[in-house]
Amino acid sequence: MNMLPVNEKMLGKFGPYTLVTGILLVILGTVGIIFPIIMSWVTTVFVGWLLFIGGVFWAVHTYNYSPKHVIDWLKPALLLITGSLVLFYPVSGVAVVGLLLAFYLLLDAVGSFALAQSIHPARGWGWMVFNGVISALLAILFLIGWPATSLWLVGLYVGISLVFDGWALITIGWMSR
């Protein structure tokens, strides 16, 4: 079996902050699991505000640097309209955020597998693989029930993902001490 060397430089970056971050993620994720509809709503409103505020920044930028070109106003207009729609229609926004969340979970799985590979064979790398498998399964399960179950699944899945991310970081942080 071909064992890759441990990336000591990468492992050296894990420390007490890894443990603290992991604990905070577990706490936040647990709240999301207990109150999934609230977590769904908070997630959606957060995304809506990010889009809206991003639209304001782009509009100011466009006004200062290219106010006469109509095509340059397209991006800020899209951000402002999308953010406003998510904020004014949060239930529909939850369905949209749910679809984005499924894609995020797939990307999270890929990132977890990549991190596990980069720290393999150090202790704790298997937990990051497990985290990736859970994220991939959550994404698949979410896509099967979308959009009907979005209202509670968004919050539940965000919570579950945060708990597993947190435990993976706690384990890696603890083992790298």
Locate 163 and state its tokens: 């708990």
Measuring CA to CA, which residue among 84, 32, 89, 93 is closest to residue 54?
84
Helices (H) and strands (E) in the chain, counts: 7, 0
CB count in 10 Å sphere of residue 126: 13
Tell me which amino acid residue 87 is: L
Measuring CA to CA, which residue among 22, 4, 2, 40 is closest to residue 122?
4
| 25-67 pLDDT, tens digit each | 999 999 999 999 999 999 899 989 999 999 999 999 999 998 8
- The domain limits of the chain are 16-175
Q: Report how far residue 107's alpha carbon sits from residue 89's, in angstroms, rounded to the nearest whole number.
A: 27
pLDDT for position 35: 95
Classify residue 7 by its DSSP letter. -
The predicted model scores a pTM of 0.63
Measuring CA to CA, which residue among 75, 70, 35 is closest to residue 55?
75
The secondary structure of 14-32 as a DSSP string is -SHHHHHHHHHHHHHHHHH
Model confidence band, residue 109 (pLDDT cutoffs 50, 70, 90) = very high
- pLDDT at 2 exceeding the cut of 70: no
Model confidence band, residue 4 (pLDDT cutoffs 50, 70, 90) = low
